[in-house]
A and B are shown apart, each in its own frame.
Chain A
């Protein structure tokens, strides 16, 4: 049994008064100690997947399907079941400043759950907080515990958030674009710390990012989302070398390269759409360079392909060709 099991997950949100789908039939599994990347653009549904797993969907959301963490139902289960799932889960968000109380000291923030939920006394909670800060590369923990969030830079504060997540001794970390607001050098450092500690402690990681290469660097497998669905999923290394969905290939190619002579980029026409804007056929078809009439008529299913999955009617025909698209 996996650490995370998601089946047929559908979420609708009230947008301008009407219920509109934002997630359509999402399925994924994550084993203990494994890292899975969820990659996509705006409206793809990656953050909504995390919110559904954390039980943090916005008010008015209607959810169906199944999501379990450590065997405990997150959707439609008893409150006790959700609580069990939550004690196994820690969430790290993109903007640390929006998820920390600005009038609490770092020390209060870090020790609160240990003291209140685990009954650890103040002194040992403080000691564990300092140890955890050292583990995320903050050596002067004692001093940091007395500081307020505004006294710390974004990179430091995000490391404090990682420390807080790890202090809860979770089995699963849900990380939603944890480094997007950081400078590249800080991103590299924060990701290295997260990756190292996750491996040491055997934690599962669901990592949300818009950056295919960043996901590949820290995740065993990567799933690509578009318009509320998973369109492709396979081992991170082969995803880049041999993408099976035209969207994955186009996304890899659209990113400006760091070497070679400057040339116009193979941009994807149009804009990323939300799940509620899709028609009868394939959601990506209107922007797809490999579109055929059947793509507009039939919505493709996510089907097994090698060790992964793909949601494209033409996957067999396009096999091998997409690698050339992705690499120019």
Chain B
């Protein structure tokens, strides 16, 4: 591949260098650098205002960085895409699934037609091939024929999130960004979607960038984690090590705040986060 130095096998699917984003005078993301290897899975963990969603928006191209560089599959995407062609090419590299499956689907389009449209935009396939591929995608996320023919409002939250995942998989991206993609789901449905996402990654070799506030979700889906606070990374490491032996006081506080059997709430947050 042109312009991609390094070994082909180790080529990262995403490279972020010195990323910085300011909104007005406020710095949302400060000096963030990380790499996501092909087929790997990185978790960005943090609370509201930590800058994790801003990073997702910068990688997808919904925002432009103030400074720093973003490259996907060896191609720079720091500047916004300037043509439809370029935008589509980038869409085939990175797709995103959002938190709220109720507002991220077109209410006037059946699931099947929505998927078909994505395939028409991105690939030169016959109607028959597209139909075949739509059913393949539906099978991958466990949606049945009835659900394929339904409008989103007839589907439950969990089914809609399956649809959102199928749509994101349709352009065959190299990287899937999951921005709090299971946060709004009921516990029993969240478990189904977490299992599905682990299975999809195993079967497709897709890389994940997982944005979440939930440490248990990171543990379930990622190899490496970055803990963010106020726009900066405060700790990073292999996910299991990081969660079993957190080094930074903020990571320790985050872990101590998760309700578990025998857990008691504590007024300790004020030591680190002063009310402002």
Q: Is the CB of A267 within 8 A of B192?
A: yes
Contacts A184-B213, A184-B257 given; does A254 touch B187 at CB 8 Å: yes
Taking chain B's interface residues, is the majority helix, strand, or loop, or is none over half, making it mixed? helix
Q: Is the CB of B269 within 8 A of A258?
A: no
Q: Is the CB of A183 within 8 A of B259?
A: no
Q: Is the CB of B266 within 8 A of A268?
A: no
Q: Is the CB of B188 within 8 A of A272?
A: yes
- Nearest CB of B to A327, in Å: 9
User: For the complex, what is the distance from the CA of A271 to the CA of B155, rounded to whole Å?
Assistant: 11
What number of B residues sit within 8 Å (CB to CB) of A? Answer: 47
Identify A210's interface contact among B157, B186, B253, B258, CB under 8 A: B186
Contacts A42-B157, A185-B253 given; does A272 touch B186 at CB 8 Å: yes
Segment from B32-40, B133-141, B216-224 that makes contact with A: B216-224
The interface bits of chain B over 216-240 (1 if a CB of A lies within 8 angstroms of the residue's CB, else 0) are 1101110000000000000000001
Q: Is the CB of A255 within 8 A of B191?
A: yes
Q: Which residues of A contact B191 (CB under 8 A)?
A: 254-256, 265-268
A191 at the interface (CB under 8 A from B): yes
Q: Is the CB of A262 within 8 A of B156?
A: no
B23 at the interface (CB under 8 A from A): no
What number of A residues sit within 8 Å (CB to CB) of B? Answer: 48
Nearest A residue to B182, CB-CB = A256
A56 at the interface (CB under 8 A from B): no
Identify A264's interface contact among B190, B198, B213, B255, CB under 8 A: B198
Identify B220's interface contact among A186, A189, A262, CB under 8 A: A262
A187 at the interface (CB under 8 A from B): yes
Residues of A174-198 at the interface with B, using a CB-CB cut-off of 8 Å, are 183-193, 195-196
Identify B188's interface contact among A155, A187, A213, A268, CB under 8 A: A268
The interface bits of chain B over 9-50 (1 if a CB of A lies within 8 angstroms of the residue's CB, else 0) are 000000000000000000000000000000000000001100
User: For the complex, what is the distance from the CA of A319 to the CA of B187, rounded to whole Å?
Assistant: 24
Contacts A214-B259, A257-B219, A258-B219 given; does A184 touch B47 at CB 8 Å: yes
Q: Is the CB of B276 within 8 A of A192?
A: no
The interface bits of chain B over 168-209 (1 if a CB of A lies within 8 angstroms of the residue's CB, else 0) are 000000000000000000111111101100100000000000
B108 at the interface (CB under 8 A from A): no
B83 at the interface (CB under 8 A from A): no
Q: Is the CB of A192 within 8 A of B190?
A: no
Q: Is the CB of A42 within 8 A of B260?
A: no
User: For the complex, what is the distance from the CA of A251 to the CA of B255, rounded to whole Å?
Assistant: 21
- Nearest CB of B to A37, in Å: 12
User: For the complex, what is the distance from the CA of A211 to the CA of B257, rounded to whole Å?
Assistant: 13
B243 at the interface (CB under 8 A from A): yes
The interface bits of chain A over 139-154 (1 if a CB of B lies within 8 angstroms of the residue's CB, else 0) are 0000000000000011
The interface bits of chain B over 135-157 (1 if a CB of A lies within 8 angstroms of the residue's CB, else 0) are 00000000000000000000011
The interface bits of chain B over 236-249 (1 if a CB of A lies within 8 angstroms of the residue's CB, else 0) are 00001001100000
Q: Which residues of A contact B261 (CB under 8 A)?
A: 213, 216, 240
- Nearest CB of A to B44, in Å: 15
Identify A42's interface contact among B48, B186, B219, CB under 8 A: B186
Q: Is the CB of A271 within 8 A of B259?
A: no
A283 at the interface (CB under 8 A from B): no
Q: Is the CB of A186 within 8 A of B269?
A: yes
Query: 30 A-B Cβ contacts within 8 A?
Result: A41-B186, A41-B188, A137-B270, A137-B275, A153-B275, A184-B47, A184-B213, A184-B254, A185-B257, A186-B47, A187-B265, A188-B269, A191-B265, A211-B259, A213-B263, A214-B259, A217-B259, A217-B263, A255-B216, A256-B216, A258-B215, A258-B219, A258-B243, A262-B219, A262-B240, A264-B195, A265-B194, A265-B220, A269-B192, A271-B189
17 A-B pairs besides A192-B266, A255-B216, A272-B188 with CB distance below 8 A are: A41-B188, A183-B47, A184-B213, A184-B258, A185-B273, A186-B47, A189-B268, A213-B261, A213-B263, A254-B188, A254-B191, A258-B260, A262-B198, A262-B221, A265-B220, A268-B191, A271-B189
Residues of B within 8 A of A (CB): 47-48, 156-159, 186-192, 194-195, 198, 213, 215-217, 219-221, 240, 243-244, 253-261, 263-270, 272-273, 275-276
